[in-house]
Structure 1
Amino acid sequence: MLLLGIDVGTSSIKVSVVDAQTRQCVASAQYPETESDIKSLQPGWAEQAPQMWWEHTQQAFQKAKTKGNFDPKQIAAIGIAYQMHGLVVVDKDGEVLRDSIIWCDSRAVPYGEKAFQAIGCDTCLSSLLNSPGNFTAAKLAWVKDAEPQVYDRISKVMLPGDYIALKLTGEITTSASALSEGVFWDFQKDEVSRAVMSYFGFKDSFIPTVNPVFSEHGRLQKEVAQQLGLTEGIPVTYKAGDQPNNALSLNVLQPGEVAATAGTSGVIYGVSDQLTYDQQSRINTFAHVNHAPDQKRLGVLLCINGTGILNRWVRDVAAPGISYAVIDREAADIMPGSNGLTILPFGNGAERMLNNKIVGAQVKDIDLNIHTRAHIFRAAQEGIAFAFRYGLDIMRENGMNPGVIRAGRANMFFSPVFTEAFVNATGVPVELYAADGSVGAAIGAGIGAGVFSEREAFDGIKPLQLIEPGNAELYDELYVGWKKHLIQALGQ
């Protein structure tokens, strides 16, 4: 028996086929090889076409079939992971009404802030565990206000993974986890928030059927099965946002366990059994994949918008055409601190941990006689690591004190320079695993289909490497200097 995992990322779509018995990946592919575009029609805006995700999903699976030695007819269940917080709206025929307003789009910040005050700060924090901020509900409010001709045609509101499931199955479902990441979920009442729906004036019919994360979300349509070479009627049994799914892939499911990722954005994600929240909503709390009313599992999430996207920008501007491996090698030849060069990585929209301020990416203290592109490469990776430290300190204020952080050996964690800076700046050891989002989605599909339990899913999984702090004192000193630049940029 095989399981198919689909990871709907911002940069690309990745699919993996996993052997249900061994939990080993037998084939994987991503599409496109180069990073997908983000449309930015105005400063602070970020959109992608849902139809593009579907086209890329099909291309990625066809590519996996040509690369892998597996029989598609043996795939018995499908799981989907997806970029969080994006808004997808469709009409009564399931047709997309506008491009998706994705996670790093900042236009809805004023709508969320106004809702926070009108609904009541205490009510929002105790019931929603977040400010409406810049999340999906606030994005929908922007559409209602700015594009009434689109809003009036909306039949259903969904997240990016829900759209891919719709294309596979013809059905639209959601979950408490998904609704919580959109800030539609009332944790006190375990239902869609009446306060949010009433304040924004949203129709109840906009919300799809609510299912558990691990459950059947529809079955593969005949025409799609024929097109992809799959078996008609196999179920989609798992849908989760990319960060809860990344945590699942790393077996981060129980209170106190912590995961990290550093792709286009960067995240530290810890599991709690308490309805916890940050008074300033600098970090956020959502329902984890295994959350239930009688067994609370909350994901406490720190997000940094500008991580891997900064690394990509630096490459494209300073050294177009070279590989990330070359960047890492050149950065490794520079001493920690980059000879005084400092980079703030906040150039990808409003940063929640900075109270939704748009600071912008900034390069500080360039010496034209000393600094080379290698210094820029290292300063960028160190700046990202210091941003993680800044955010982790906020998590520590809120009771999340990890003794170890688990991460997949992927994206920025491929870089020894970044990993060294991350471990020493945060002071927390990191366990690296052979895990990624599409494999996690496939394993989630196995849990949802009842092929194995949560515990059985990770039997025998061991880390590839443990990296421990070895130069924390130096990085603490460097962090103090980096933080001074950030404070100045914030005007504090």
Structure 2
Amino acid sequence: MFLGIDLGTSGVKVVLIDDTQRIIQTGHASLTVQNPHPGWSEQDPAAWIEATRCAIRDLDSPLDKVAGIGLSGQMHGAVCLDQSDNVLRPAILWNDGRAADEAAALDADPAFRAITGNIVFAGFTAPKLVWMRKHEPDLFARTRRVLLPKDYLRLWLTGEAISDMSDASGTAWFDPAKRDWSDQLLAATGMERTMMPVLAEGSELAGCLRPETAAELGLPKGIPIAGGAGDNAATAIGAGITSAGSGLISLGTSGVIFAATDRFLPAPETAVHAFCHALPGRWHQMGVMLSAAACLDWWAGITGASPAELLSRLDPAPGRPGPIMFWPYLSGERTPLNNPLQRAGFTGMSTGSDRAQMTRAVLEGVTLALAENMEALRAGGGGADSLIAMGGGARSDLWLAMLAQATGISIMRPAGAETGAGFGAARLGLMAATGAGESALTTPEISDVFEPDPELVPAWSESLQRLRQQRA
């Protein structure tokens, strides 16, 4: 058996698979996010460890036969450690916008786009450390190591500081073409290579489970642990998306359109991310919006109803976009706006507007933003002919039908869509433990296909243009 551990923003998910890559069982433990100031987003790394313990305890199956572990996690977070690997401050997360000015200053240096192939977004790791150097100089001076979230879990599991290429690509310190840290970019932010973790490919061995942690978790000691992946690359591995032309759409806390490539295709002018994939010799392009299913959760909290209850009151047909428009920018936006200060809101409401219309507007707003992401990927030389839908939001037939109309391509839902990143992590754990190659990553069985309706697609395109005009 093989165990995947996915450290998300809202919780830790674990997925247990057998030798045939069949999911045996899943476990989950929730996490909360702290927002000490508007636009800030933090978590205590100790909560990640406790949530991982709880999620593994949530599994009923005996774990004595687990032969490999893979890790996936939320990207870009900064976990700052002192010389004894003690955590110095709460981790600054991917959707934190405090370092907007620092990111803009780094992005103004041509070397960053030239080497990383990406805009320096405020949520990336490097500007967070520049912000610390300016606003928390004592903590910055004590920082001896910076880890990404899933790699802090690895430090607890193995005692080793190791990261993988896909996750490292989102730091703004990494050269995706060379698949290595850039000493030039590290120096430009006051950092050194010694402060960075060792690098491994996602499917390679990257540490073994140490005896004390194994005993605590009820796992065999010495289990090999894979390099793993950032959450979106891991989700793609779970969906078997490894070759050029294949892609996925993720409806999690954030929203992502991911397209695999067989070469590095930077397109920073589109605000599309160009990162390494979790396999050697593979890269990907990615359009990212910061709030996707999080928008529905937010609206559910405002209305006092659960997301499922809100969705149950809607007409299941995608239809044409309604008169109310929702801007899904609760935490700013990345692709294609690159604006951490952009904010959400409703327009087009009247005295006749009701809760169901506003719920539908939330879904439509997220859908149109993801369609805009797809346009950005195409402009950058990437894209896909169809998309596999993953994440919690993929359970909604209505939402996937809307996405088919807005993007103009088929949206496919596999069985077990909500376990995507954890399943991908488990697959990487299998590869690291057994030496299995890329051919082992089959595409999951498709349970539902949502096709675009030629009579509806133009209406969704017009609505996207209206969103752009209002935003301007």
Match of 1:317 among 291, 299, 302: 302
Q: 1:210-264 CA deviation, whole Å, 9 max, x = no partner?
A: 2222222222122211111111111212321000001111000011111110110
More deviation in 190-199 or 137-146? Answer: 190-199
State the partner residue of 1:407.
389
Amino acid at match of 1:168: L
Give the deviation of 1:286 after TM superposition. 0.6
More deviation in 430-439 or 281-290? Answer: 430-439
Q: Please, which runs of 5 or more residues in structure 1 have no aligned partner?
A: none
For 1:49 and 1:12, how far apart are their aligned partners in 2?
Answer: 13
State the partner residue of 2:323.
340
State the partner residue of 1:288.
277
Question: Does 1:142 find its partner at 2:126?
Answer: no
Amino acid at match of 2:388: R
Cα RMSD (Å) of the superposition? Answer: 1.8
Question: Does 1:388 find its partner at 2:370?
Answer: yes
Q: Report if the CA contact (8 A) 2:3-2:429 is conserved.
A: yes
Match of 2:24 among 23, 26, 39: 26
State the partner residue of 1:365.
348
State the partner residue of 2:285.
300
Tell me the SS of whatever aligns to 1:421: helix
For 1:334 and 1:431, how far apart are their aligned partners in 2?
Answer: 17
Q: Report if the CA contact (8 A) 2:77-2:149 is conserved.
A: yes
Q: Report if the CA contact (8 A) 2:6-2:12 is conserved.
A: yes
Correspondences of 1:89-108 after superposition (within 5 Å): 89-108=80-99
Tell me the SS of whatever aligns to 1:392: helix
Aligned-pair identity (%): 27
For 2:329 and 2:457, how far apart are their aligned partners in 1?
Answer: 20
For 2:113 and 2:234, how far apart are their aligned partners in 1?
Answer: 24
TM-score for the superposition, normalised by structure 2:
0.94
- Count of matched residue pairs: 468
Correspondences of 1:80-91 after superposition (within 5 Å): 80-91=71-82
Q: Report if the CA contact (8 A) 1:81-1:245 is conserved.
A: yes
Question: Does 1:420 find its partner at 2:404?
Answer: no
Match of 1:227 among 205, 208, 216: 216
Correspondences of 1:55-454 after superposition (within 5 Å): 55-64=50-59, 68=60, 70-118=61-109, 120=110, 123-134=111-122, 135-291=124-280, 295=281, 297-318=282-303, 320=304, 322-332=305-315, 336-337=319-320, 339-369=322-352, 371-408=353-390, 410-434=391-415, 435=417, 436-450=420-434, 452-454=436-438
Q: Report if the CA contact (8 A) 1:257-1:271 is conserved.
A: yes
Q: 1:305 to 1:327 in 2, by over 3 A?
A: same
Q: 1:438 to 1:191 in 2, by over 3 A?
A: closer
Structure 1 segments of 4 or more deviating over 6 A? Answer: none
Q: Please, which runs of 5 or more residues in structure 2 have no aligned partner?
A: none
Q: 1:356 to 1:281 in 2, by over 3 A?
A: farther
State the partner residue of 2:8.
9
Match of 1:54 among 46, 49, 56: 49
For 1:276 and 1:386, how far apart are their aligned partners in 2?
Answer: 24
TM-score for the superposition, normalised by structure 1:
0.91
Amino acid at match of 2:448: Q
Q: Report if the CA contact (8 A) 1:108-1:142 is conserved.
A: yes
For 1:189 and 1:400, how far apart are their aligned partners in 2?
Answer: 20
Q: 1:463 to 1:339 in 2, by over 3 A?
A: closer
Q: Report if the CA contact (8 A) 2:6-2:422 is conserved.
A: yes
Q: Report if the CA contact (8 A) 1:39-1:46 is conserved.
A: yes
For 1:417 and 1:302, how far apart are their aligned partners in 2?
Answer: 22
